[in-house]
Amino acid sequence: MTRAALLCPGRGSYTERQLRSLPADHAWVRRADELRAEYGLPALTELDTAERFSAALHLRPANVSLSIWLISMLDSASAFEQHDVVCVAGNSMGWYTALAVAGALSFDDGFRLVQEMSLLQEQHAGGGQVIYPLIDDQWRRDGALLDAVSAALASSDGQAFRSIDLGGYAVLAGSEAGIAHLLKHLPQVKLGANSYPFRLIQHGAYHTPLVQPVATAAREELARLVFREPTTTLIDGRGVRFTPWATDVAQLVDYTLGLQVVEPYDFTLSVRVALREQAPDHLVLPGPGNTLGGVCGQILIAEGWRGLRNKADFERAQASERPCVISMRR
């Protein structure tokens, strides 16, 4: 079996193409619907089988987070059967998924963590996130774009922050005033078919001090969750590893319900640590969409992994018999 690093997606991965993804007769799907009923929320199977996609309904944080989590859990179980999974990491909300995938939380407690954090984020909603590229069309770092981000943040009067380091992109967050400042002061850039900067739909000011109320409430409301040592190595958004043989569970809890909520999430660093310390043959992407495929390619290029130097190199590698990144679904 090939060695794999499993990388769980964040909230931005769900689209209308993911409808009808859930096997309604699977025990995990049935249990997830039972847990949703406890919260008085629509069943995930009901959302999954809707006649048409509704952004207001399907992308509501309390709904989309759980749909992504459950699809990712199902895919991850298959990945463990197909590969020797040497570590698990995730992007932003994907950290919560990684905890359950790696065995640090039970299925039920993993569900409750994602459900209650999404509800808390709705209750304390405010601000938002903006995404902006840091690379050229060959996925190499562009110093002028890096400088533009630094300048926009420095001139925001403390209203905008770094939120996620996402391969060739910066996810920035802030108050409404901070978001308006970023959209005004970041230079317009076109990369591929997309123009930047743009605001992410229904995203709050995650991974910044502005969501401290969420962290405070999570400490109280999620104290009953039972965290434990993972059965597979976990890598968090600081690049810190929690291994089956060396994990301080209290530190894992502190990070998940504290620092992870209010400090920047460095997905790039977590992947870099996975590559350097766990030596996977592939990066395997469970869950809906393929939003992390290009991001992982950009990280591999920055690392010079297997001699990759640009987007063309990565695309050639992906077309070979030994792809660098394996997406479990589109």
The full 3-state SS of 177-190, as one line of letters, equals: HHHHHHHHHCCCEE
Mean pLDDT of 87-92: 97
* pLDDT for res 17: 79
Dihedral sign for Cα atoms in the order 317, 10, 257, 44: negative
Q: What is the mean pLDDT of residues 303-315?
A: 96
Taking residue 112's Cβ as centre, other Cβ atoms within 10 Å add up to 19
At 13, the pLDDT band (50, 70, 90 cuts) reads low
Q: How many residues does the chain have?
A: 330
| Cis, bond preceding 209 (omega within 30 deg of 0) | no
* Average pLDDT in the chain: 95
pLDDT per position as a tens digit, 152-206:
999 999 999 999 999 999 999 999 999 999 999 999 999 999 999 999 988 999 9
Question: What are residue 7's phi and psi, to 5 degrees?
Answer: -120, 110
Q: How far apart are CA 194 and CA 171, in angstroms?
A: 15
User: Strand 325-327 to strand 282-285: parallel, antiparallel, or no bridges (unpaired)?
Assistant: parallel
For residues 309 and 302, the answer to whether their CB atoms sit within 8 Å is no
Q: How far apart are CA 241 and CA 225, in angstroms?
A: 21
Sequence-ordered list of residues with C-beta below 8 angstroms from that of 165, at least 6 positions apart, any chain? 171, 264, 265, 266, 267, 268, 269
The rounded distance, in Å, linking the Cα atoms of 299 and 101 is 23
Res 301: pLDDT:
97
The CA distance from 147 to 62, in Å, is 36
Nearest CA among 144, 127, 263 for reference residue 199:
127
| pLDDT tens-digit readout, 218-228 | 999 999 999 99
pTM of the model: 0.96
